[in-house]
Amino acid sequence: MSSEITVQNLNHLGIVAGIIDEIGIEKNINERLGKNSREKVSAGVIVKAMLINGLGFVSAPLYMFEKFYKGIVVEHLLGAGVKAEYLNDDRLGQVMDDIYAENVS
């Protein structure tokens, strides 16, 4: 009988994610930009992922963004069903364009 154990990091990112949830940033972004049923993750989740990355003291460039989340408990931080590969530079760029189009400062 063998069992496989997977170890993933949480570090201080759980606190950062909790504060983002408490403030309601994800919800506000989703209300402002709306949700697209074709997207695997909402704009609010993408913004939350960018904030966690920026406050994770690593700040990966966009093309390496999903690699930042490899080995981290992505579903615990960002929500059920969210995978690191969903956090790619194309989706991040699309969300930033949408935010710019909304005149958000």
Q: Which domain holds residue 28?
A: 13-101
Q: Are 48 and 82 in contact (CB under 8 A)?
A: no
The predicted pLDDT at position 97 comes to: 93
Number of domain units in the chain: 1
Is 67 domain-assigned? yes
Q: Residue 60 domain-assigned?
A: yes
Which residues of the chain, if any, have pLDDT below 50? Answer: none
Q: Is 7 domain-assigned?
A: no
68 in the Ramachandran plot: left (φ > 0), alpha (ψ -120 to 50) or beta? alpha
pLDDT at position 38: 83
